[in-house]
Structure 1
């Protein structure tokens, strides 16, 4: 589909190992000197951390650790090598957790993925990721800038205007969640508008095979990436569409969930990422996501390690409609209404769209009031079903994902 983004993508194993041996000790030393690590890297000889085997001996950093060190006047928690005022942007994700953002060339490393999608000079990208507080919009805009594409900063919502803008400016590529492109295309069909979109770079949720095929049937080449607000791009698909290739600016390990212990090759485990970004040196950051290493290298010629893509969550935290729903949010929903004894969030699919059902154990109650609380606490709307106390399964789950990831 496209040429390589740079020579890093086709390095030999020896070249990649030598580069890691140089970069990793420097990054560990940076992190060890930051107050946000709270001494967890004290006593470690950074110069000896030169490969993944040595890296596996360092402690794991979790999302909750970020929140614990962040606070008023110290939004980045002493985990960055610049003060908050030294970054171009500060973002807020649910929690709240604050993340930095830079405008230096491809700071989020998303250009590599957009290049793999065939997006570059001459393209106009309709960026339907959010620009409000959370960083996804800027992450993909930065990538578009890196490959020389123009951007229509569309964000989400106002679908009719999205269609009109795509037609008027001649949008050729889409960036956003997998589902929302279908919403735009269906609205365009309804309006009798033909769009020129032939490429799609998606993330923030699973790209189901049936949806990818629907886009292909419409003449749209669609690939997905795996990225987070803290780390930027982690892995991405190429036109080979065999797993996801790990980005050149991170180190990925697969470990037994809840530990830092690497699993056997090919086994499913939690994705742990070490970022080589000198501004934000996250060492062994636990994503909470599940994946597995794929043997061999991609037929596309890119030589870095591959993973099987997103395979669920190591905990019950689940992404629905591109937003995370966490167990603590379900607990907060229950706490808002004295008559609710338990609640269970169920993630499902209707057609090609994510849907959320919230089953609430209560003696009667007002479904509309519960629905308003669901929207407030979970940050999205869902169908509320009131069930009798004691009828939800006694399996410890508060979030259930019934979607098939085939």
Structure 2
């Protein structure tokens, strides 16, 4: 697919040039986080920032997951301290334009400046252009979603109607009067608007493009939108990180943003998986206002081979493929993905492991399936002992050939019957 326009020249850099630039920026960002973020001064204590100049060095740093961010924020607030838990490198004033609250609550700062969340790149790829009106139906209440997309629309040169959520009839009236070309919001609310317009005979044919997020938008729904005359593209952004990845006209995965370094790791660990394997998306942002280092999103994805047919050369991910937190309860005990990884790590012969929980309620059975070339009865017994030592539960061990386990990111599979 030919692409003649890009948001900026960063999108068409050679992969080698991009990697070199990001690895050069990485040690500076690590040092900045250590100096200006109390949380990362603690998390990265003793780390030589100058030495973190490669993906291998980055992979040796700890992963900070949202649950830890929340706990640090709660602890700090309980002591009358920083509401951000020491993660922000900003102070209130001209450099911090807004504060948001996500469920938890987790508080996130918004730094000053044009397109702080870097969403303009995603909207441009979705066909948004200067002079167009964007109907923004993300919530303007407490959470940052609406502001992420609004700032991106402004960066492209669009005007924004801040519709927010609800009040469907009034939103349709505004669409008739204002004739927006584009929509931002959840795919489910866009479908509601289109269905209601059709029922009422309301003409909103001015709407021809959309950038959606906040929930899954499967190909079947994208096709339905196309039938209604709206080209819909997915944008993957979070309140912590801003833009992470975005869909293009090629519709072959999501292209990674230029301002993030992404790793795919084994769920429950910080260990990168081979390219193409499904794992947890871990992001290091180059944003100096909120310098998150190896932030675990909790989302599953995988790196796609090659580059986007539109000419954008950044790596691509498959998109959202589920959640990485696979904690489950077995016989009254919590079992975590990190425990499965701990067991596998003890045995060099084991390449990959998957804990399958089966049986019916009150009759749980555990089987650790391991990919290995050769495992004798002695080693199998040692692995079973490790299962018991780590989880405090008994479980069988079943050896399968390398490549046999599904590539779906699951480390714990709950196959129990709940009927």
Q: What TM bracket, shorter-length normalisation?
A: 0.7 to 0.9
The 3 A distance-change label for structure 1 pair 393 and 301 is farther
1:311 aligns to 2:311 (yes or no): no
1:231-310 counterparts in 2 under 5 A? 231-310=241-320
Q: Is the 8 A contact 2:33 2:41 kept in 1?
A: no
The within-5 A match list for 1:7-406 is 7-33=9-35, 34-37=37-40, 39-70=42-73, 71=77, 72-85=80-93, 86-195=95-204, 196-315=206-325
CA apart distance, 1:75: 1.2
Q: Quote the Cα distance in structure 2 between the aligned partners of 1:312 and 1:43.
A: 34
**1:12 Cα offset (Å):** 0.8
CA contact (8 A) 1:75 1:84 kept: no
RMSD: 2.3
Q: Aligned partners of 1:26 and 1:80: how far apart in 2?
A: 16
Deviations 1:327-381 (A, max 9, x none): 9xxxxxxxxxxxxxxxxxxxxxxxxxxxxxxxxxxxxxxxxxxxxxxxxxxxxxx
Would the aligned equivalents of 1:2 and 1:118 in 2 still touch at CA under 8 Å? no
Q: Report the CA distance between 1:2 and its aligned residue.
A: 6.7
Q: 1:42 to 1:223 in 2, by over 3 A?
A: same
Mapped to 2, the partners of 1:90 and 1:199 lie a distance apart of: 30
**How far 1:393 moved relative to its partner?**
9.8
- What is the TM-score normalised by the length of structure 2? 0.75
Q: 1:66 to 1:174 in 2, by over 3 A?
A: same
- 1:312 CA drift (Å): 0.3
2:89, 2:363 → 1: CA distance?
47
C-alpha distance in 1, partners of 2:362/2:145? Answer: 36
Q: Distance in 1 between matches of 2:363 and 2:156?
A: 50
CA distance in 1, matches of 2:42, 2:167: 48
Answer whether contact 2:90 2:111 (CA < 8 A) is retained: no
Report SS of the residue matched to 2:198.
helix
How many aligned positions are there? 329
In structure 2, the CA distance between the partners of 1:105 and 1:283, relative to structure 1 (3 Å rule), is same
User: Structure 2: which 5+ residue stretches go unaligned?
Assistant: 329-359, 367-412, 415-419
TM-aligned CA deviation for residue 297 of structure 1: 0.5
User: For 1:147-205, what per-residue CA distance to the aligned partner results, in whole angstroms no more than 9, with x for missing partners?
Assistant: 00010101110111110011111111010111111100111112211111000000111
Larger Rg: 2
